[in-house]
Structure 1
Amino acid sequence: MKISGLLTVSLLLLGCSVFAQKQQKIGDNTTNISPTALLELESTTRGFLPPRMNREQRNAVSAVPGLMIYCTDCGNGQFQVYTNVNSWSGITSVVDVSGVTCGAYVAAGVFKKFMCYNLGATNTFLDPHIPVQAIHGNYYQWGRSAVVADASTQAGAITGWNTAAANNGAWVDGSKTANDPCPAGFRVPTKVQWDGVLANNTVSRTGSWANDENFSTAVSWGPTASTKTLTLPVAGWRIHTDGALHDRGYSGLYWSSTESSTESSTYAWHMNLSSTNASSSNYYRVCGFSVRCVSE
């Protein structure tokens, strides 16, 4: 009985020791770990350095949602998180450097938050209303979460470009699907929401509107032409046949989640921006367009 009692006490002490080791604090001061933290880092002289790798190395990783790395050749370098199947995204925000919420009216009296930057922007600390390469973001095919190109991808044809359109239901208006590339709490806007932005806000334009692949052209909306709350860079698009870049600095195309009801199942709705117009249009789902996420 004494041996049994001693064994019981030993097992209890071992269990307590294992439980205590589930929390860990690393840094200059390793006492008083936060009771809700599994791992806490504390320092006033050193930072956290994640694994660093180039794009090719990143794509070879068998990633799961939530995995984080620093991609050395994504734009000018970018901290990224794996969010979905075949989808790496940079850290993005709905608040700009001035603390102003980004968004627009999507109907009379109905203001919706949008992310301040295109999905895949490589620097989300810049002013979102001044278009530069770092906020142009990625290109996506309709109905898919995979990144098909970004602002640093060469302009010519892309080897292995997918010319098969996503099926109906890959993205839908009524809810966010598993194929939606936007982060938690956001989704690809509907055609109705994009039409609402056009109808209920004041538009203004920035840049030269030259078809020369410039990064400095954008369209903005807000309560007045001088007060911008939503700015979309004119990032051009990737053509459906081979993924080659077209019209950056001259036209901007942004996906909606809405399927085409008047064309074949190879088409979907998007917002088309030009120097004189902004309107909804139908085009091939296998084109690579920009995505600007709206709050759910």
Structure 2
Amino acid sequence: MKKKSINKNSILLATLSACLFLFSTIASCSKEPNTKIDTENGDLANINVIFKASIYENEGTLGTKSSTGKSNSTPKSLPIQTNTIELNNDFLLVAELAPAENSSSPAKVALASDKKAVVENNNVDADIRYKIVVYNETGKYILEKDYVHGKESLADAFQLPSGKTYSFIAYSVNSTTELPSINFSDIGNKTLSTSNISVAGEQDFMYFRKDMSVSATSQNNLEIILKHLFSQITTSIDATQTKYDITHVSSSIAISHQPNAAINLSTGAVSRSGSGTDISLTFPTTGGMLLTSLSNIINAEASNNMALKIASITIGPLTQTNVIPFSSLNITPGVKYDMKLKIVPTDEYLTHRGVPAVRINGNIWMQHNLGADISIDPAQTPQTVSLFGDYYQWGQNTVVASKTESYPNSNWSSITDLPVNSWNLGTENNPIKASGDPCPSGYRVPTKTEMEKLINSTVASEKGTWSPDENNFTAAKILTSKRRRDVVIYFPIQGGYGYGTGGANGITPTNLIFRGVIGLYWLSTADASSRVSHVYFTNTGISPMFGGSNYDQQATSENIRCIAQ
């Protein structure tokens, strides 16, 4: 049989084609992340991935290696920053910015004997994605593996050639869907020094590095503690002392928060970029006395000029605008902060000069009418005669009728041309108690301006039965503080004694009128026309007003509620 000749050129062509195909395949695969390693000629070491926790700069010792591979000791003390401001004399706002309490409390490590990752109880949510990247001792990129927190058991075995030292990098953006890819500044030279990650400024980037030698004959536990590299602030507003709900709040953190960041995987160093912006606070719900915002990630350099701005806030019936609780806060990257704002009403009950009193919008008022039994709780229901006070004529300091008399006594005077400064030797804005003022030491008759301020600082309501009857002691006007719902002042509706014609100087008193339907309380203010003033309470309104155009109004007999000097 004749032998067939073999064409050498054909063999060479086939060989070259095979080589080109192999080269093309290798080149194509090199574009994808490495998830496996060449076994070479040697034993493989099993790597046990133990996800322990995530930590912030301000959190304490965990008894293991930190995200930088060094022993993790208690960080330097971070100060608690506080400030107190007044809100238009309505409230005190007590503000505090403090490092959050340690939220990482991993349990003891249960060492794994199998080849797959295990996870401890920790403070990271389930299904959070994270990546582990491995470099050899020269810094050459070896492989990377993706994990889903809580599903580590589904991951492939993690093995590396034994007897070598590797750099293990782990990172995450604390997301169940997002996990940034590695960028190499030199794609032809994939090394640790050329590796970086690009993230958005609002992403919660966490980082870990550990250099470790592995052996096929020992346990190789890669205990991961991810460290947050950006700051986080959670803001709460507490208005529980006011007893009112917060129904609206618009606020922001003024800081140079930058929209982008690049992280060097070798060191964890952060390079920030983009134009700095403020961060708006979001409160998921309003309508309660305690509100908590969503946590805000802050991508900014260490700063001592962060400010908290409240454009507007509504607490109960009051709205405050343009409030700045803080203007020069110190913020450290990687620290988790709690910003606590407590609304403290200045309104309160107190004892002033030995007398039960109430402070509303900066002024202290007696809780009882002048002449009432101050040992009786003014809030008692039903109201009794003991809470009724005595009656006085304007400008005088003698009692002309007690709470139970139907007609003024002999102290009543027909003199109605008393000086306009009989109760106030000063001015409307700077009153000075006069000798004819009947209020006890430390108190005086209020001005018309002070009564108007009380009315504007409260919400009015009524109690008891409003009907004309000399024996009706139940009716009262209730003024509730707008700053603190449980601070209340009561004005019994006692009526008064009018005047008629006849008698000395052509004027005579009348019997008790208006009890149970109108409350009449003297004020110290008199105008240039000698008109004196009082406040007029009905079940439909409150009117601080001047009386008639002559001195005759001084002939009436009304109640007095004293204010502190």
TM-score in terms of structure 2 length: 0.32
Q: Please tell me whether the aligned partners of residues 420 and 527 of structure 2 are also in contact (alpha carbons under 8 angstroms).
A: no
Pair 1:144–1:206, CA change in 2 (3 A): same
1:292 partner SS: coil
Q: Please tell me whether the aligned partners of residues 129 and 228 of structure 1 are also in contact (alpha carbons under 8 angstroms).
A: no
Q: Please tell me whether the aligned partners of residues 524 and 533 of structure 2 are also in contact (alpha carbons under 8 angstroms).
A: yes
Residue number in structure 1 paired with 2:385:
133
Q: Please tell me whether the aligned partners of residues 93 and 116 of structure 1 are also in contact (alpha carbons under 8 angstroms).
A: no
Give the drift of 1:270.
0.6
Structure number, greater radius of gyration: 2
Give the drift of 1:158.
5.0
Residue number in structure 2 paired with 1:124:
374
> 2-side partners of 1:272 and 1:246: how far apart?
14
Task: Confirm or deny that 1:195 pairs with 2:459.
Answer: no
- Counterpart AA for 1:163: S
Aligned residues: 190
2:451 partner SS: helix
Residue number in structure 1 paired with 2:413:
162
Residue number in structure 2 paired with 1:147:
399
Residue number in structure 2 paired with 1:232:
491
Instruction: Identify unmatched segments of 5+ residues in structure 1.
Output: 1-91, 96-100, 106-110
Pair 1:160–1:141, CA change in 2 (3 A): closer
Residue number in structure 2 paired with 1:290:
559
Task: Confirm or deny that 1:269 pairs with 2:533.
Answer: yes
Residue number in structure 2 paired with 1:104:
360
Give the drift of 1:104.
2.5
Aligned CA RMSD, in angstroms, stands at 2.1
Q: Please tell me whether the aligned partners of residues 420 and 532 of structure 2 are also in contact (alpha carbons under 8 angstroms).
A: no
Q: Please tell me whether the aligned partners of residues 141 and 289 of structure 1 are also in contact (alpha carbons under 8 angstroms).
A: yes
Give the drift of 1:177.
0.1
Alignment of 1:7-156 (within 5 A): 94-95=355-356, 101-105=357-361, 111-121=362-372, 123-130=373-380, 131-153=383-405, 155-156=406-407
Deviations 1:217-271, CA, capped at 9 Å, x for gaps = 111112259634211111101113314211111100111100034xx42x31111
> 2-side partners of 1:171 and 1:292: how far apart?
13
Pair 1:273–1:141, CA change in 2 (3 A): same
Deviations 1:156-177, CA, capped at 9 Å, x for gaps = 4656742221222211242000
- Counterpart AA for 2:386: A
2:413 partner SS: coil
Give the drift of 1:93.
5.2
> 2-side partners of 1:160 and 1:136: how far apart?
19
Give the drift of 1:125.
1.5
Q: Please tell me whether the aligned partners of residues 537 and 543 of structure 2 are also in contact (alpha carbons under 8 angstroms).
A: yes
- Counterpart AA for 1:215: F
2:555 partner SS: coil
Q: Please tell me whether the aligned partners of residues 188 and 256 of structure 1 are also in contact (alpha carbons under 8 angstroms).
A: yes
2:453 partner SS: helix
Q: Please tell me whether the aligned partners of residues 460 and 480 of structure 2 are also in contact (alpha carbons under 8 angstroms).
A: yes
> 2-side partners of 1:102 and 1:219: how far apart?
16
TM-score in terms of structure 1 length: 0.60
Q: Which has the higher contact order (CA 8 A, sep 6+)?
A: 1
> 1-side partners of 2:411 and 2:478: how far apart?
35
- Counterpart AA for 1:209: W
- Counterpart AA for 1:210: S
> 1-side partners of 2:554 and 2:394: how far apart?
5
Pair 1:143–1:160, CA change in 2 (3 A): closer
Give the drift of 1:209.
1.0
Q: Please tell me whether the aligned partners of residues 119 and 137 of structure 1 are also in contact (alpha carbons under 8 angstroms).
A: yes
